[in-house]
A and B are shown apart, each in its own frame.
Chain A
Amino acid sequence: MSQRPSYAVGTGLFIVLGFTALGYLATQTTSVANTSRGPSYTVEAHFANIGQLKERAPVKVAGVRVGQVQSIVLDPGKETADVKLAIDNRYSQIPDDSVATIFTSGLLGDQYVGIQYGNSKKAVADGGTLALTRPAQQLEEMLGKFFGAGGSADNLSGSYQVKARFTNVGALSVGAPVKMAGVAIGSVQSVKADPVKLDAEVALSIDKKYSQIPDDSAAAVFTSGLIGTQYVAIQPGGSPDMLKDGDELVLTQSALQIEDLIGKFLVSGSSSDKKDASSSKADTGSKH
């Protein structure tokens, strides 16, 4: 009987230790540690391009987390992404002319929505919209502007099969996503080298829902982030006619080769080597 207290105390200690460890795991190492899951209100923002923004990405003001992304939807027929932001009720004084911008944490980090306050006296209400937004920056677009390469885009057609020709598709592979305003609307069906025109013919299959794409839209081969996979981005044009099955996108922008860009930049470019390489690639393709 005198032995009983010793193991009883030890067992009690064991149980307390176990529950302490559980409490530590649950509160100090998980998202509970930095989210106050208080009541929140919803604000909408429309972005021309959301890049790699994901649902539940943080919303920050001055770098401090104030809420999270609730949902991301591409409005069929429009080329903007509707992003719903759930913002903590404590931060209800956000001016309605504030600017919502998609930022990236570091070079390879996740994307988040940053809100920069405006000057308006009126605060944005629950269900309201932040009218001023800045889209995610595409590395290729920036590089293209910088080197005067990008710009014009090709023509796209409808909800089904559309063709686009590129002088260079980079590492684009079959099954890669086709995105508009950063949201996937279809996929790459095939990538073939044309034996006559000596360029790459890419067949895109696009969801029927998105049948309102102008036929002078442009297709460009972009890369997700610095080391991500490549995808085809569709930049809508202004034509009143819409793309139809079997149409061809006339305006295209090929994949930017980092080597090319660096070569131009350093003036010691090896562009002739690259041309040989791409034409011999086309030759091999024609033999099949």
Chain B
Amino acid sequence: MSATMSRDNIVLRSLTQIGECGLFLLRMLAAVPRSLRHIRETVRQLWFVGAMSLIIIMVCGLFVGMVLGLQLYDVLSIFGGTSATGTVVAIAIYRELGPVVTALLFAGRAGTSVTAEIGLMRATDQIAAMEMMAVDPIAYVAVPRFLAGIVAMPLLCCVFCALGIFGGHLVGVTWLGIDNGTFWSNMTATVEVVKDVINGVLWKSVVFGTVVSLIAVFQGYTTPPTSEGVAYATTRTVVASSIAILALDFVLTAFLM
């Protein structure tokens, strides 16, 4: 059967994956009420995917803000518009860099570990053991990690953005000598709550968090129970998440503009 299908194998396989992924999402949503009994497990996962990712997110946010400040100062000084540095740093981070870079880092830092953990549970028959003990593995393993990802992403994104602004301020004001008052007043005059913070930071990061967690949990849960299978699943999590994030970013931007 696999030989006859070899031509449309990729198309069929991707379609199957997408379909299974959607069905898996429905199973998880149905299991959300049951998993409320395991709320402590959700908090523990929030610690793993959220709080443990905090350091890398903060460091990256700081450096992204710093390099933006440096580059923009350089270009804007051609037009004598260096006072707009703060505005452009804030808008670039809120609308695009914050959610996208945070989501990519989140997929690399938390998504892979979720996939590998669930994949190894599957490979070492822990999931089968849970089923035999009448513990629903979807409610106990999958849903807490999924929910934790959805909650953690917006929070991480806010921290990333705040550190990015701080980095831009550090380079622009402290090192390159833009006036402190101008930096802030230009920023506050242009940046808007709904358009930039709610639509940019919050909406995008919630959607990205949902997609990355779904892909990570799904890939782990459906891993072939071999060490090779776990390796492939982890890779697929990163690849699929990155593509999904960047493609969805365009769609979301078009919708939210």
Contacts and interface: CB of A to CB of B under 8 A. Distances in A.
Interface string B141-160: 00000000001101110110
Interface residues of A, number: 25
Contact of A34 (B40, B54, B165, B189): B189
Contacts, number: 89
A26 interface: yes
A28 B188 CA distance: 7
Contacts of A22: 154-155, 158, 197, 201-202
Interface in A3-24: 4, 7-8, 10-11, 13-15, 17-19, 21-22, 24
Interface in A189-242: none
Nearest to B61: A21
Contact of A21 (B79, B80, B161): B161
A14 B158 contact: no
Interface in A30-47: 30-34
Q: Chain B interface: which size bin?
A: 35 or more
Contact of B192 (A4, A17, A21, A30): A30
B47 A21 contact: no
Nearest to A107: B80
Taking each of B158, B165, B185, B201, which has the highest tally of chain A beta carbons within 10 Å of its own beta carbon?
B158
A4 B40 contact: yes
Nearest to B54: A14
A30 B197 contact: yes
B119 interface: no
Contacts of B159: 17-18, 21
Given A15-B155, A21-B159, A34 B50 contact: no
A108 interface: yes
Given A21-B159, A25-B197, A14 B188 contact: no
A29 interface: yes
B135 interface: no
Contacts of B192: 30-31
Contacts of B154: 18, 22
A31 B156 contact: no
Contact of B46 (A11, A19, A26, A32): A11
A7 B44 contact: yes
14 contacts: A10-B51, A11-B51, A14-B47, A15-B151, A18-B155, A21-B158, A22-B154, A29-B165, A29-B191, A30-B191, A30-B193, A31-B190, A33-B184, A108-B79
The 3 closest A-B pairs by CB, nearest first: A18-B155, A14-B51, A21-B158
Given A11-B47, A31-B188, 20 more contacts: A7-B51, A11-B46, A14-B54, A14-B155, A15-B50, A15-B155, A17-B155, A17-B159, A18-B155, A19-B155, A21-B158, A22-B201, A22-B202, A24-B162, A25-B197, A26-B193, A29-B184, A30-B196, A31-B193, A32-B193
